[in-house]
Amino acid sequence: MKIQKTINIFNKRARFEYELSEETEAGIVLTGTEIKSLRSSKASITESFCQFINGELFIINMMIDEYKLGTFYNHKTKRERKLLLHKKQLQKFEKLAKDAGNTIVPLKLYINDAGKAKILIALGRGKKLYDKREAIKDRENKRDLGRLLKKS
């Protein structure tokens, strides 16, 4: 089992599904087996979202696989994990998230230079279907243009 010093786990669907604003970095509370499994890149944040519970921000549906060498102390794969932010940041996000249509989505899970697990979160508003179609069209046009430039 290879343990990496730095990892990057992305939520690629978030940028497609939501119009994003107000990005910030948050710490995350993990147990010992969770951080070991995370260092092996055994995590997924594609279906996860953030929610306020009693004034504290939690990430829901984040999947961290069980640590292979863990014993009966192993963690649950999908549990609510607390996010660590400053009080003013929490108040700001809670106020913005209460508006209709807004949600807090995780964009990137990584380990910083100090060895701490961090998560990049952003305030998102769901895109309409025609916005998604436009994004697909733009992506295909860029790809075609790149192909034409590469040929010549």
What pLDDT digit, counting tens, does each position of 99-152 carry? 878 889 999 999 888 888 899 999 988 877 777 888 888 889 989 999 888 887
In a domain? residue 152: no
Does 138 map to a domain?
A: no
Encode pLDDT of 12-24 as tens digits. 888 888 888 889 9
Residue 51 domain-assigned (yes or no): yes
Distance from C-alpha of 152 to C-alpha of 149, rounded to nearest angstrom: 5
The residue among 22, 10, 34 whose CA lies nearest residue 122 is 22
Q: Of 80, 72, 74, 73, whose CA–CA distance to 54 is shortest?
A: 80
Nearest to 56 by CA among 77, 97, 31, 84: 84
Q: Tell me the C-alpha distance between 132 and 150, whole Å.
A: 27
The pLDDT tens digits of the residues spanning 27-82 come to 999 888 888 888 888 888 888 989 999 989 999 998 888 887 777 778 787 889 99
The residue whose two tokens read 């994004």 is 135
Q: In this structure, is residue 133 part of a structural domain?
A: no
Domains held by the chain: number:
1
In a domain, 79, yes or no: yes
Helix (H) or strand (E) holding 95: helix 87-97
Asked if residue 92 is part of any domain, the answer here is: yes
Q: Flag whether 55 is in a domain.
A: yes
Q: Is residue 136 part of a domain?
A: no
Q: Which residue has the higher pLDDT, 92 or 70?
A: 92
What's 101's domain CATH number? 2.40.280.10
What is the domain extent for residue 100? 8-127
Whole-prediction pTM: 0.79
